[in-house]
Amino acid sequence: MSREIRVLHVGPGYNQRGGVASVLNELKTAKSLFEESAIRVEFFETRGFKGAGNKLLFFALDLPRFFFRVLSGVDIIHFHVSPRGSAFRKLIFYRLTRFMRKKVIFHWHSNNLVDCVEQSRGLVQRGLEDFIANADDAIGVSTEIAADIRIFRKGAGVRVIGNCALNAERIASLGSAKAINQRALEPYIAFSGRFVDEKGMAELFAAVAILKEKRRHVHVKLAGTGDTGRWVKLAEDLQILDCISFTGWLRGDEFMDFYRNARMFCLPSHREPFGIATLEAMLCGLAVVGTRRGGFLDLVKEGETGYLVAPGDAAQLADAIEKVMDDPGLAWEMGEAGRQYALAHYSFKSVCSDYVRCYRELYA
């Protein structure tokens, strides 16, 4: 039997939320799968830097705790990194591990790696460049994000390992996409995510206005959190308030039903590092309209599981939405093809196998 490898995942904790926290929660669920391959995964949670108290506790408690945890016999330290405070905290830990001669993985989960490095200054900037270039391995959550990492790797390898979506995978495993005539009586477009500019909400609203001008009424339901008032005001200005509704933050089966009862999923992000919401929608049997950037390029097969448009182009977006909304048969076929593709490439077991391969090759 292969020698057991102990891997310490380092990422956000203490009730921090976001994409990285979601990834770590799913990796915790995968402990038994890793153990089948003689990989023992452990987790070290760090505090955020919101408030002086958390910063003080990070240096007073987290740093020494991390030091002694590594001394307990860890083989590989897997750093999950995103911009701003997260990168700075992991950089401090990374410098510590170099003195302890441990194998290190740099795993980038966000956009803007180049900006994150360039906007740093002095020792921090040089430290981040060293962290990325000299980590024993590096992972990007999509092909495009891996290309960003490669800029700093000086020829060293970069892996692409996507995420998974366990709750949606459970739905997908039950069988084919839900029949169109069993979905909501009034067809709607599902959107989920933060209500912010980079998610392409302005373009989505503009596309709905274009379709309404053509006397093609479509309805968008938005699940998530953010400055709802701002977007209600934009809908009023565009005279599409009757085409928009906000569901608030959804969880569990209610969230899955939100996807499964939609006609299609639309997330016109300016750049999506991976796109867990897109993966969830695909697993729930939805055709996807996204943008030709980031994780969409890996997840969506053009003309087969959905359509991709140029970021910021409301006219292209309106055309793609109209194609799917006007053809129930096409919507179902694309949704079913997407469900099968997502199960084949982003299942829980498939993603875990990618991690196991990484650890085994790193520790060969």
Edge-to-edge strands, sheet with 264-266: 244-248, 220-223, 189-192, 264-266, 287-291, 306-309
pTM of this structure: 0.93
Q: What secondary structure letter does DSSP report for 243?
A: G
Read off the pLDDT band of 15 (50, 70, 90).
Answer: low
Q: How far is CA 83 from CA 90, 124, 267, 345, in A?
A: 10, 13, 22, 27
Give pLDDT tens digits for 272-326. 999 999 999 999 999 999 999 999 999 999 999 999 999 999 999 999 999 999 9
Task: Please give the domain boundaries of the chain with CATH numbers for all domains.
Answer: 5-164+347-362 (3.40.50.2000), 166-346 (3.40.50.2000)
Give pLDDT tens digits for 55-79. 888 888 989 999 999 988 899 999 9
Q: What number of residues does the chain have?
A: 364
Q: Which of 53, 43, 55, 42 is nearest to 13 (CA)?
A: 43
Q: What secondary structure letter does DSSP report for 181?
A: G
The pLDDT, as a whole number, for residue 16 is 59
Contact call for residues 341 and 177 (beta carbons, < 8 A) = no
Assigned token pair, 94: 């990374």
Statement: residue 1 has pLDDT above 60 = no
Q: Which of 53, 30, 56 is nearest to 43 (CA)?
A: 30
179-214 burial string, b = 16+ CB within 10 Å, else e? Answer: eeeebbeebbbbbbbebeeebbbebbbbbbbbbbee
Cβ neighbours of residue 309 under 8 Å, at least 6 residues apart? 268, 289, 290, 291, 292, 316, 317, 319, 320
**CA pair distance 214, 222, nearest whole angstrom:** 23
